A and B are shown apart, each in its own frame.
Chain A
Amino acid sequence: MPAAEPIVETHEIEKYYVQPEGNRIEVISPTNLAIYPEKIFALLGPSGSGKSTLLRMLTGLVPPSAGEVHWHRGPAAEQQANVSIVFQNFALFPWLTVLENVEAPLAARGVGEVDRRKRALKILDTVGLDGFETAYPKELSGGMKQRVGFARALVVEPDVLFMDEPFSALDVLTAENLRGELLELWTSRKMPARAIFLVTHNIEEAVLLADRVVVLGRNPGRIRADFEVDLPRPRDRKSRRFLEFVDHIYKVLTQPDVEHAPPAGPGARQAAAARTAAYQMIPHARPGGIAGLLEILIDRGGKDDLYSLADELVMEVSDLLPIIEGCSLLGFIRVQEGDVEITEQGKTFAEADIQDRKNLFREAALQHVTLLRQIYNSLRAKADGTLPDDFFSDILDEHFSAAEAEAQLQTAIHWGRYAEVFDYDAKSGRLHLTAG
């Protein structure tokens, strides 16, 4: 444990929505976190794990449903914390020039015109934007826009610099470049921020940048792993220790129901394992993606390491994970200790022709996927074999947030159509049992 006092500390904060019927949808279970000075904190998790919500609760943008956020040991509600956010999609004001964008937070704090301009120009110089002061954001490339985002965030010299997936809207090369420059500023102590809190879904990014990594699980969001990354900087992506950390996070992410011991380290903490049995969640993968992954697995000998698979496919883990989960849910692959292995059923499926694939998918789906089975049985129970989609939305609404319930039904419809279990008429919004 670092000796310094934490800047931000949370006490059992959680987020839930209460539905009109009194049903409570838990988005984030009670969570304890602490952000220490001089440290980079990375929050990692699959989509839907509430990373962004957690960040917004820490910054005070969203109040927690229960629990408390403390700033410098005082309740956050009673003070105005000096924080900044770098947003995923930049959130620059398109009608203001680069300079005006960066000056705006200072103007809001009542800093006079001359001082304001001096400080803004200085920070623009630091992030490498001198010469672009009078440009409008829309004239800039994505990387340059995010530099403006950084400049605006740093100009107030925040206690904590929050970053909400700051590189995910950029192309790979630009992101890598910006990441490097950010780290350079941080290690050379040119960055006027006392701590950094980074939300990301990129595993390598987290291991590369952070002093401490917290991995969130989903449904509801909860801490699944919390460990320190004690690698010296600059970090070598090819080093054995680096890969161990990456591998460990993969393991945590791909085995949602098993609790993991982190690879040692005194900062390790375990999340409470107690959680109610949740309704099965369909991963948002497409049948085409599932078949594609299986074919690649066969090409690579039927078994592979998750990390090298993602590396080979140049896919972000957030894109790959749903497909892996989908394959595993259908019993087409086995995931163990960060390795994926194709099963007999998976092999048959991958090698079948179009029509046989549909049949195999149908068998597997009806056997393993609760929602599809539920839809199938309900439709069969009706004399005319049809039901409105609202019927199933209502069922899902009891288990998921409104957006997720919608997404679940859409994926189920996609799978059901592919497997020819049922058909969906978008015009009338009704599901029909497929004839034959």
Chain B
Amino acid sequence: MIKPTPGPAAASIFEERRPGASWADLLMVGFGLALFYGILTLARTWLGPFTPNVVISVHPSALPGYTAYSLLRMAVAYVLSIGFSLVYGYVAAYYPKAERLMIPLLDIMQSIPVLSFLPGVMLAMIALFPHSQIGVELGAILLIFTGQVWNIAFSFYASLKAIPTELREAARIYRFNAWQRLIRLELPFSALGLVWNSMVSVATGWFFLMVCEMFPLGKTDFRLPGLGSYLQTAASDGNTAAILWGLLAMVSVIVLIDQLIWRPVIAWADKFKFEQVEGTDAPQSAVLDLVQRSPTLAWLRLHAVTPLGERLNQAFCRRAEQHRPRQPSRWAGWLGWLLGAALIAAAAWALVHVAVQFASLDRGTASDILRGTGATLLRVFCALALGAAWAIPAGVAIGSSPRLARIAQPIVQVAASVPATALFPVVLMFLIGPNGGLGVAPLVLMLLGTQWYILFNVIAGAMGIPSDLKEVARVFRFGRLDRWRLLILPGIFPYLVTGMVTAAGGAWNASIVAEYFHFKGRTLQATGLGSLISAAADAGDFNRLLIATVVLASIVVVTNRLVWRRLYRIAETRFRLET
């Protein structure tokens, strides 16, 4: 039973918070100034002359600056992703005709590795801004964007689709205008999904940072100042100290972002949880408390944000008043048709192009691709199997013991937050084969990049097994085998499937980086689809890149449809624990 807690008396709502600065305010003002200065500095470089090949210093003193550059790139890419996702999700959710095209497209885009976008995006951007550094910078940002946008867009679309009918009806019957519907219904309802997917996306951004900041393209070597290029240069030089410094910088930044941004945001977003009764343990964040108690921000809210929202609302109300008899504009209809036709034409052209490429495949390339596909497939499979082999027992152990969970959870979280690509140079130092080949290193990298997804989900699944079922197992004295067969495995199955799906996606992505690497002045490569793509991108061989990408994307899409979706369905019907 929940006791309703009466709020303060009505009059207090009108009271302003007492002004007066606190040290938290000072901190925030300082933070704002630093941000402003950073952006100014960056803008100067960006608008500077075209210098694709910046000399990257591996001295630790260069790290703060590089980190700032990388952070800004990620931030801009992230803001772009959110903007794109909102528009894409909105259109897909509300226009059934567009939806039929846009959702499968999302599926395909998600399965295309970042690197396959690289040559196209870069050449386009440089052509757009031939004399300014901004072209290369925008290219790098767009690359990061292609790595993080799709899941956010899908999450927003799925949230919009899941809004309960009664809430929609309430919004309609009370005549919410478009603005009110967005900020009162659609965004709040999607908030949790957006937050969690943002975290995943930013992690992906870190994973591909090295690729996005430093790459050869045809005859030119592109290098942008940043943390990723620092790490890659250190790896190429074989400079162990520099690798460790770079790694340290990256891990600290990731941990800081987690504490200063994600924790507070998660705690704040908890109020958007769609639940009828109050949950028992709401996430907490000291940073959020500080921000919420800040008088400066309260003042801003009262004197800037609220009036602005009010003005916007009034404007939308007037507009709704004027356009009362709503008739779909004829122009919009035509425009939609035109856009659809253009899209279909483009898709058809691309299909024909791909078909022509496949038809003109020579024997050598075909067998290369076939062998590469087999090798990468085997690696992905092994990585998943190895990851599951240790993560399932470990996850179940952690998940069934609250004491162990308290100790292990934070450690696992930090370990998982380190992008596997950054660890790769360290791995290589130990694992490089006797004949200079990559050996098992690609497999290790894939494992590093994927095992955490399995572990996290198994822990969550093991925690979710109802205690009455555990008691049944104890009362009937289940042996170890029966306990796993009848209780634990079915109990964690839905979570395990989720973890494996994410892990498989991660493994495919990792193959691009893992099978082809510049280390100590040499290019190391292993047979595989990933190295085919990487090498083709490096050489600017568009046809090879296209074919390898199409093969990779189709494998990912087909396994998603044939394997994972089926397992999902089984998990949802047969292994769901009703509560």
Contact = CB atoms under 8 A, between A and B. Distances in A.
Contacts of A177: none
B6 A105 contact: no
A133 interface: yes
Interface centre among A61, A85, A93 (most CB of B within 10 A): A93
Interface string A74-85: 000010100111
Given A87-B169, A91-B167, A107 B313 contact: yes
A139 B278 contact: yes
A146 to B, nearest CB: 12
B274 A94 contact: yes
Q: Chain A binding site: helix, strand, loop or mixed by DSSP?
A: loop
Nearest to A135: B7
A59 B173 contact: yes
Nearest to A62: B169
Given A78-B325, A132-B7, A139-B5, A85 B170 contact: yes
A141 B173 CA distance: 24
Contacts of B7: 97-98, 131-135
Interface string A102-146: 001101111001000100010000000011111111111100110
Contacts of A95: 188, 191, 271-272
A105 B310 contact: no
Interface in B127-177: 164, 166-167, 169-170, 172-177
Contacts of A104: 174, 176, 180, 184
Interface in B7-25: 7-10, 13
Contact of A110 (B173, B272, B318): B318
A253 interface: no
A114 B273 CA distance: 30
A119 B324 CA distance: 25
Contacts of A136: 271
A89 interface: yes
A132 B170 contact: no
B2 interface: yes
A301 B434 CA distance: 94
Contact of B176 (A78, A85, A94, A108): A108
Interface string B176-192: 11001000110010010
A96 interface: yes
* Size class of the contact patch on chain A: 35 or more
Contacts of A59: 173
Contacts of A421: none
Interface centre among A95, A99, A117, A140 (most CB of B within 10 A): A95
Contacts of B13: 99, 117, 133-134
A152 interface: yes
A99 B10 CA distance: 10
B277 interface: yes
Contacts of B177: 108
A145 to B, nearest CB: 8
Interface in B260-318: 271-278, 310, 313-314, 317-318
B4 interface: yes
Contact of A61 (B169, B271, B317, B321): B169
Contacts of B278: 138-139
A156 interface: yes
B173 A83 contact: yes
B3 to A, nearest CB: 8
Given A84-B174, A91-B169, A108-B174, A135 B180 contact: no
Nearest to A427: B574
A427 B174 CA distance: 45
Contacts of A80: 175, 324
Contacts of A107: 180, 313
B10 A130 contact: yes
Interface in B52-85: none
B311 to A, nearest CB: 11
Given A59-B173, A93-B188, A134-B7, A87 B166 contact: yes
A140 B2 CA distance: 7
A137 B273 CA distance: 12
Interface centre among B13, B173, B275 (most CB of A within 10 A): B173
B185 A144 contact: no
Contacts of B10: 121, 130-131, 133
Nearest to A99: B13
A56 B574 CA distance: 36
Interface in A359-405: none
Given A133-B10, A136-B271, 6 more contacts: A56-B169, A94-B275, A107-B313, A110-B321, A117-B13, A135-B4
26 contacts: A61-B173, A78-B325, A90-B166, A91-B167, A93-B167, A94-B272, A94-B273, A95-B272, A98-B7, A105-B175, A108-B175, A108-B177, A110-B317, A113-B310, A117-B13, A131-B10, A132-B4, A132-B6, A133-B13, A134-B7, A134-B8, A134-B13, A137-B276, A138-B276, A140-B2, A141-B4
* Interface pairs A-B: 5 shortest CB-CB: A134-B7, A110-B317, A105-B174, A91-B166, A131-B6
Interface of B: 1-2, 4-10, 13, 164, 166-167, 169-170, 172-177, 180, 184-185, 188, 191, 271-278, 310, 313-314, 317-318, 321, 324-325, 574
